[in-house]
Structure 1
Amino acid sequence: MKTVRLLLMALAVLAFASCSRQMHTYVPNPANVPLLKEKNEFKANLSLTNWQAAYAVSDNIAVMVNGQYVWRNLLYDSDSDGDWLLDPHVRGGLIEGGVGFFKAVDSRQRAIFDVYAGYGNGSFKTLDNEFSADSIRGNTNYQLRTKFHKFFIQPTFGFSHKVVEAAFSTRISVVRFYDQTMGSKVFENDDVRRENFLKLGDKAMPFFEPTFTVRAGYRYIKWHGQLLISVPINDETYSGYQVGDFFQPVSFSTGISLNFGQWVQDAKK
């Protein structure tokens, strides 16, 4: 029931986000969902803004490393307001690593359960929506910036085949913001939002991040797509504004997935 309630919260976040101009100081990175099966298997997911790798060090234990860099200047011009979901001015990212347990749960080794836990560190910066395009060039008076520590745990159940893979994950991320800075003109006429931004570092913020992952191709290389929804579990500290103002509520990533494992080689036989 708790998972259902959190999913309903996620839908509410999307509804609120459609009514507000976006200004994000946290953009969730895609979940690394490797679905490994055996010792020495290596898998990597690559896109323009995200890089993920996982390696099985034993029959049930694996390590992962993930990188993210968000820069949307190629998608929007300098005076763009973006769209109903994305902040066009956000820039930043993170580096994280983790360790996990994986196991095939059927006799054909196609159904996989795994769980990973890890830590990351990163930062993001963006612009107050009140800036004018002509005045912002080289000007930090309208800039917001925050750094953060992130801890996560990520259980996943999925299906892995040489042609197609699909998985559902329920990642919990606990993010601790620190070193928030803002320019002199940020929220110049809105003391409530200015105070709320400074409150981000008061305590750790947990996020519920359900994730749907699909891959399709053949053996070593597949197309990779993932939808992730990010919902603050407890946001009463930040009353007075919509949660989508500072936290991007949904992301979609796509790229290629590379898999190097003995079972992939044996699949052609």
Structure 2
Amino acid sequence: MQKYLLPLCVILIASSCAPVYVPNLRNSPLFTKGGEFQGSMQIGNGLDLQGALSVSNHIGVMTNYSFEDRSATTSSSNNNTDDYHKHKFLEGGIGYYENDGIWCYEIFGGYGKGEASSYADYSFFSGGTSQATGKYERFFVQPAFGINKKVMHVSFIPRFSVVNFYQFKDDVTGIVVTNVNSSAKVFVEPAVMGRVNLANNHLFFTFQVGATIVASPDVYFEYRSFQLGTGLGFRFGGSASSKSKDKTTE
């Protein structure tokens, strides 16, 4: 299995030429009760850090950070601009969840801001291909439908994102362009996430595969079409009311 995983990661990452928009991995906590806290670190889409807290038996909050820097792979000697990419992105969200036995669903919404750099052709810069940094904001709505079993969690996550690049800067000339496009762009970003629970459900191994489907016309920037990530996470906590409720239903 491992001998196929690395080539697959390379294929997926290389499938988009110099993307300036790289969707982060989906955070689907699949809470079972109030007072749970989860955190994870994953690689494959860059570095993705995720955290989530269930503040009650039906309300949860999350925060996500994504980072990647492949600028060192490009130099004046090899001029391999297809490998050049940098991004950082931070977002937060709030949502509602239900958990009934092994079946559960949730819906989160939120907002984030970030910036990314790549080589690409932009109509608002003269001279062809430019090394540029774009600043953007993103709104998202993320429903998810999952199965919570003792050993394995699986979630299908059809996220909907509205991405608005409000500024681009040519990193060579220093030229800054604002209001680069009159409308934000909509993407459908479905993914499947799996978790294997360890250490009496306090640790988990997680993996995820996702896609980016454009739902708006005239997208003028490159985006990563596929995402793949894997990593480790932890889970602890649970409100007293939830624990007592669990005992009464046993």
Hey, what does 2:223 align to over in structure 1? 247
Among 211, 216, 223, the alignment partner of 2:191 is: 211
User: Does the CA-based 8 Å contact 2:60-2:97 persist in structure 1?
Assistant: yes
More displaced, 142-151 or 58-67?
142-151
Hey, what does 2:136 align to over in structure 1? 148
TM-score by length of 1: 0.71
Secondary structure of the corresponding residue to residue 201 of structure 1: coil
User: Does the CA-based 8 Å contact 1:144-1:182 persist in structure 2?
Assistant: yes
Task: Pick closer, same or farther for the CA change 1:261–1:112 going to 2, 3 Å.
Answer: farther
- The CA deviation string for residues 153-200 of structure 1, in whole angstroms up to 9 with x for no partner, is 000001122311111011000011111122568xxxxxxxxxxx9985
Task: Pick closer, same or farther for the CA change 1:31–1:200 going to 2, 3 Å.
Answer: farther
Aligned counterparts, 1:110-125, within 5 A:
110-125=102-117
| Cα distance in structure 2, aligned partners of 1:214 and 1:31 | 11
Hey, what does 1:22 align to over in structure 2? 17
Give the ranges of 4+ consecutive aligned residues of structure 1 lying more than 4 Å apart after TM superposition.
Answer: 197-200
TM-score by length of 2: 0.76
Amino acid of the residue matched to residue 49 of structure 2? W
User: Does the CA-based 8 Å contact 1:176-1:205 persist in structure 2?
Assistant: yes
Aligned counterparts, 1:164-203, within 5 A:
164-183=152-171, 201-203=181-183
Query: Which runs of 5 or more residues in structure 2 are unaligned?
Result: 1-10, 122-128
Hey, what does 1:50 align to over in structure 2? 48
Amino acid of the residue matched to residue 248 of structure 1? R
Task: Pick closer, same or farther for the CA change 1:81–1:215 going to 2, 3 Å.
Answer: farther
Task: Pick the structure with more strand per residue.
Answer: 2
Hey, what does 1:61 align to over in structure 2? 59
Q: After TM superposition, give the deviation of residue 72 of structure 1 in Å.
A: 2.9
- The CA deviation string for residues 1-35 of structure 1, in whole angstroms up to 9 with x for no partner, is xxxxxxxxxxxxx9xx85xx702111101111100
Task: Pick closer, same or farther for the CA change 1:203–1:161 going to 2, 3 Å.
Answer: same
Q: After TM superposition, give the deviation of residue 73 of structure 1 in Å.
A: 5.3
| Cα distance in structure 2, aligned partners of 1:43 and 1:222 | 10
Query: Which runs of 5 or more residues in structure 1 are unaligned?
Result: 1-13, 130-140, 186-196, 239-244
Task: Pick closer, same or farther for the CA change 1:173–1:183 going to 2, 3 Å.
Answer: same
Q: After TM superposition, give the deviation of residue 212 of structure 1 in Å.
A: 0.6
More displaced, 163-172 or 199-208?
199-208
Percent identity (aligned): 28
| Cα distance in structure 2, aligned partners of 1:201 and 1:258 | 41
Task: Pick the structure with more helix per residue.
Answer: 1
Hey, what does 1:136 align to over in structure 2? none
Task: Pick closer, same or farther for the CA change 1:164–1:143 going to 2, 3 Å.
Answer: same
Among 233, 237, 243, the alignment partner of 2:215 is: 233
